[in-house]
Amino acid sequence: MKKDFYLTRYALIIKKLESAPATYSQMEDYLLNSFEFQDAGIKSYSIRTLQRDIREISDLFNLSIHNKKKGDNRYYIESRPMMEVDEYNQKLLESFQVSNALNNHPDFANFIFFESRKPTGVEHFYDLFFAIRNKRIVLFEHYNYKNKLMTSRKVHPLALKESKDRWYLIAIDTKDKALKSFGLDRINYLDVSPQKFREKYKYNFREHFKNAFGVMNLTEQNPQKIVMKCSRHQGEYIRSFPLHLSQKETKETQHDIYFEFFLHPTYDFMQEILSFGKEVRVLEPINLVEDIKKHLQESLNSYLKE
């Protein structure tokens, strides 16, 4: 068995057991017939290897897999981790699966094409994660796209948030004591100070972000019910890849699919809706409808001026 193949085995085992419990024989048959095993030329998988893999999966992914001692002797996932840990596990599995495919096949560049993107600042991720866990004051230079200025910041780091393939630091700016977000891709000269901050902030960011779309909601605006009508074509995409955790499908006709959300009607969400063009129409709340109309009219006016 290839030593560098274990991550792929873990991913396949979890995938199989998430769909249904399985005996060792069923698991062996599934693995040996997978494209991953065939591609790697692996033709055997022992029960001792399965038992060892299950122990490693438990340690790495916090998944408890057991074997029914009586009856059919099927393996099954006994418990699921908390939602936030489960999200981490999914990201980890995705990374492992892609990484394994690339490492095992040096000619991947002929078949796999990534989006061309600029660096996202993830080189600062662990330093900031350390600072958050240990309540360390952080200093850095931050670039503002709007005024095109680089400013010095001294902050109390509180959380890291992902949004649209970008990472953001959520922190208290010591200059004005305000809660702000800073794009990691715009941070330079990061310094984690040995000095700790003593303030005990009471933010519950899981609750804070639950009804938010994008990085964060910095206003005192309350979440609202948002109803929108989508063309069937676009609605199928939104159905298969929800825009937000609160998304609910409320109605379906021959030509349209209706969705309902409960979140802050922020500028980020309005921009997302506008990206669908005429395929999506917001029906309520009226204030969001009016904001979208105003934005569309201003966009049209900018073209008419030419």
pLDDT band at 98 (very low <50, low <70, confident <90, very high): confident
What pLDDT, on a 0 to 100 scale, did the predictor assign at position 82?
47
Check if CATH label 1.10.10 holds for domain 3-110: yes
- Of residues 266 and 193, more confidence is placed in 193
Read off the DSSP letter of residue 244.
S
3-56 confidence digits (pLDDT tens) = 567 878 888 898 888 888 899 999 999 999 988 888 888 889 999 999 999 988
Per the prediction, the chain carries an average pLDDT of 85
pLDDT band at 118 (very low <50, low <70, confident <90, very high): low
Q: For residues 22 and 29, is the Cβ–Cβ distance under 8 A?
A: no
197-255 confidence digits (pLDDT tens) = 999 898 888 877 888 887 765 555 678 999 999 999 999 999 999 999 899 999 999 99
- Of residues 116 and 271, more confidence is placed in 271
Q: Tell me the pairing of strands 224-231 and 166-173.
A: unpaired
Which residues lie below 8 Å from residue 123, measured CB to CB, with a gap of 6+? none
C-alpha 2/C-alpha 29 separation (Å) is 18
Domain residue spans of the chain:
3-110, 122-203, 224-304
CATH annotation of 122-203: 2.30.30
Strand partners, 262: 225
C-alpha 102/C-alpha 219 separation (Å) is 44
Q: Which architecture does CATH list for 224-304?
A: 2-Layer Sandwich (3.30)
What pLDDT, on a 0 to 100 scale, did the predictor assign at position 85?
47
105: left (phi over 0), alpha (psi -120 to 50) or beta: beta
Amino acid at 90: Q
30: left (phi over 0), alpha (psi -120 to 50) or beta: alpha
Which three-class secondary structure state does DSSP give residue 72? coil
Q: How far is CA 99 from the centre of its chain?
A: 18
Buried b (16+ CB within 10 A) or exposed e, 72-84: eebbeeeeeeeee
- Of residues 210 and 282, more confidence is placed in 282
